[in-house]
């Protein structure tokens, strides 16, 4: 059953908008303002450059449109707080694009934990490594590893722990391209420790380059056992020869392949919010809290110490 249709597309590169609109039988809008003003649009999906996110969220809410916005809400916490104040009180759904919450494996691991299969949760281990360093132009605009990449993992940590982290410690270096790291004052390899008030622990490890593919794993360990949401491969055929055993294909290349099902489920969940009044699985507040953790991690890195999240949140 068809639950939603694409009413129109806006892109700064008009030929791209024209091409997508033609392929989907939709309208190619000439501006973002036209999107928000259109009576044919009930909800908007914001997948534009990060500096526009907060502005477009505010414009959508003012126009009475539900919102699914890619992460992060903004690179600056002050702008996020201003946006929160601007949209406070709205009953419109505002969903943030933390698609990993919707991944079937991650969701199954969390469901098993909530069902008590591993007893009391003690530790969460999140591995998130990209297949290759992005172009310099991307790194210059991304806002830093913690806000661009790790923010997904900060959100996933909160989602799995079920409690707010109260302390953060970060270690990071430019190991993949040290010269580029110095030029951009940026890091490409990092590890984080998070702890909740009850003592639950989370370890996150990031790298911009994993030569074997997009490395995405989540491990939950408790008093009765452990569950793991593992990587995916193009297929599961393995080779056994005289020189090697268990030889297999590299992990799926990047996020479009690895999280295809998650993206579809995310949009389906958004339609539920619009049609049925469901609450977003990843809300505006989730986006705000993930950015607070990123800022706490940056302070930890700068000052070489364990940082209380309350130092940032307050």
To the nearest 10 degrees (0 to 180), the angle between helices 104-114 and 260-276 is: 70
Q: Is the pTM of this model over 0.85?
A: yes
Domain pair 8-99 / 100-313, same fold: no
Q: What is the CATH code of the structural domain delimited by 100-313?
A: 3.30.360.10
Rounded CA separation 233/251 (Å): 5
CATH number 3.40.50.720 is the correct assignment for the domain at 8-99: yes
pLDDT of the residue at 305: 98
Q: How many CB atoms lie within 10 A of CB 31?
A: 10
Kindly state the tokens that stand for 144.
């830093």
Average pLDDT over residues 146-172: 98
Asked whether residue 118 carries a pLDDT value surpassing 80, the answer given is yes
Q: Where are the domains of the chain?
A: 8-99, 100-313
Asked whether residue 63 carries a pLDDT value surpassing 90, the answer given is yes
Rg over alpha carbons for the chain, rounded to the nearest Å, is 20
pLDDT of the residue at 1: 74
**What are the backbone dihedrals phi and psi of residue 43, each rounded to the nearest 5 degrees, phi first?**
-150, 155
pLDDT of the residue at 2: 81
What tens digit of pLDDT does each residue of 265-310 get?
999 999 999 999 999 999 999 999 999 999 999 999 999 999 999 9
């Amino acid at each position: 059953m068809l639950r939603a249709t694409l009413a129109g597309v806006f892109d700064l590169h008009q030929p791209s908008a024209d091409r997508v609109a033609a392929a989907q039988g939709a309208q190619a809008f000439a501006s973002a303002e036209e999107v928000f003003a259109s009576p044919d649009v009930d909800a908007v999906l914001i997948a534009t450059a990060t500096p526009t996110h907060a502005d477009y969220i505010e414009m959508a809410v003012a126009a009475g449109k539900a919102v699914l916005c890619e992460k992060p809400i903004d690179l600056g916490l002050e702008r996020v707080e201003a946006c929160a104040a601007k949209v406070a009180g709205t009953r419109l759904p505002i969903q943030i694009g933390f698609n990993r919450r919707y991944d079937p494996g991650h969701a199954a691991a969390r469901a098993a934990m909530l069902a008590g299969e591993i007893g009391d949760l003690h530790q969460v281990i999140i591995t998130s490594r990209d297949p290759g360093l992005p172009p310099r132009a991307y790194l210059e605009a991304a806002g830093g590893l913690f806000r661009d990449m790790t923010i997904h993992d900060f959100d996933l940590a909160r989602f799995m722990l079920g409690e707010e982290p109260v302390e953060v410690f970060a270690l990071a270096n430019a190991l993949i391209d040290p010269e580029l790291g110095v030029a951009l004052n940026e890091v490409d390899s990092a590890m984080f420790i998070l702890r909740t008030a009850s003592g639950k622990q989370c370890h996150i490890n990031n790298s911009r380059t994993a030569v074997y593919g997009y490395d995405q794993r989540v491990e939950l360990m408790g008093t009765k056992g452990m569950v793991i949401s593992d990587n995916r491969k193009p297929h599961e055929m393995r080779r056994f020869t005289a020189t090697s055993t268990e030889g297999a294909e590299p992990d799926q290349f990047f996020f479009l392949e690895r999280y295809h099902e998650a993206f579809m489920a995310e949009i389906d969940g958004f339609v539920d919010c619009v049609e049925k009044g469901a609450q977003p699985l990843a809300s505006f507040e989730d986006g705000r809290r993930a950015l607070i953790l990123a800022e706490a991690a940056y302070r930890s890195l700068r000052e070489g110490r364990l940082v209380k999240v309350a130092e940032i949140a307050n």
